[in-house]
Amino acid sequence: MKPIMTWRTKPTNHPYPQYLTVNSTQTFFKLILLETCQQFNLMAIHRFVLLASLSLVLFGLETAVSQRQQQSQVPCLYIFGDSLVDNGNNNRLLSLARANYRPYGIDFPQGATGRFTNGRTYVDALAQILGFRTYIPPYSRIRGQALLRGANFASGAAGIRDETGDNLGAHTSMNQQVNSYTSAVQQMLQYFRGDTNELQRYLSRCIFYSGMGSNDYLNNYFMPDFYSTSTDYNDKTYAESLIKNYTQQLTVRLHQ
């Protein structure tokens, strides 16, 4: 009977390929199945090794994070900013700049909390990296001793300038956020028996995050129908004005 196919093989104990003569279609497909199974077995081994390696890496990372979370690297974290880091301060305000409804929070364990994202904000990630057991809460929900651990003063639509974001409704500008922090400091003072120096030493060990300025363009300078800043300033003088105000807010008012 005339062979229907010549099958090229490479036995494991032979360095060069050999050729088999296949006399039937059934035998031919059996050889294909055998070769395929051998290849899949090799792939399965590779996958097992890869998954085992990944599992070890993830276990190591989880252990490291767990050990780090036993004690935070800093005593407190204070956050100032706009919608990029707001985690609920605008929830009870009459404003279009709110995010306490779906689809916001669809990937966050607590759902729609007021974060302008489907999951965590990057200050949430920062808090985890620093070893805090829970995220830093919004200032609108905490008072008293809880402030010693930190507070998030950020507000969606906020800007360096007080009028920035007014087109979206109520919000807390940077100046107002600094005022809230000043009020928080006064509340914390009682836990240091009124010793201002001791409180300042405590706060000097904390981390302060501030991210502000984009709304001063998006919801101010680039909206001439609502604001006059684009006619009152040119590009350069407006930027200089923002830098001057922001510098004063961070270096003078925040440390009064």
Condensed to tens digits (0 to 9), the pLDDT of residues 97-131 reads 999 999 999 999 999 999 999 999 999 999 999 99
Instruction: Please name which of 54, 75, 83 lies closest in space to residue 171, comparing C-alpha atoms.
Output: 83
Residues 54, 79 within the same domain: no
User: pLDDT per residue over 147-166, tens digit each?
Assistant: 999 999 999 999 999 999 99
What predicted TM-score, i.e. pTM, was given to this entire model?
A: 0.73
Q: What are phi and psi of 209, to 5 degrees?
A: -110, 135
Render pLDDT for 173-202 as a digit per residue (tens, 0 to 9): 999 999 999 999 999 999 999 999 999 999
Q: How confident is the model at residue 31 (pLDDT cuts 50, 70, 90)?
A: very low
pLDDT at 4 over 80: no
Phi-psi category of residue 229: left, alpha or beta, with phi > 0 → left and psi -120 to 50 → alpha:
alpha
Long-range contacts of 6-13 (CB under 8 A, 24+ apart): 7/31, 9/35
Which pLDDT does position 12 carry in this prediction? 47
Shared-domain flag, residues 98 and 35 = no
Q: DSSP character for 136?
A: P
Last residue of a domain, one of 27, 50, 66: 66
- Residue 70's pLDDT is 60
Residues 32 and 159 in one domain: no
Residue ending a domain, among 66, 87, 117, is 66
Q: How confident is the model at residue 254 (pLDDT cuts 50, 70, 90)?
A: confident
Mean pLDDT of 234-251: 97
Peptide bond into 103 cis (omega under 30): yes
Query: Residue 256: what pLDDT?
Result: 64
Both 77 and 48 in one domain: the answer is no
CA 151 to chain CA centroid, Å, is: 17
**Does one domain contain both 161 and 178?**
yes
Q: Domain count for the chain, please give it.
A: 2
φ and ψ at 241, to 5 degrees? -65, -40
Helix ranges, the chain (H): 25-69, 122-130, 174-189, 196-203, 215-216, 229-232, 235-251
Specify the length of the chain in residues: 256
Q: Tell whether 242 and 124 lie within a shared domain.
A: yes
pLDDT at 253: 75
**Structure confidence by residue, pLDDT tens digits, 202-220:** 999 999 999 999 999 999 9
Same domain, 23 and 94: no
Q: How many CA atoms lie within 13 A of 180 on its CB side?
A: 25
Q: Which residues lie below 8 Å from residue 154, measured CB to CB, with a gap of 6+?
A: 79, 80, 81, 82, 83, 84, 85, 86, 87, 89, 138, 177
Containing H/E element for 105?
none
Give the range of the structural domain holding residue 15, as residue numbers without chain letter: 5-66
Give the tens place of pLDDT for each residue, 39-95: 444 444 444 444 444 444 444 444 454 554 468 899 999 999 999 999 999 999 999
User: How many CB atoms are closer than 10 A to CB 134?
Assistant: 10
Cα first-last separation, the chain: 101
Picking from 25, 44, 66, the residue at the C-terminal end of a domain is 66
Say if residue 123 is in the same domain as residue 143. yes
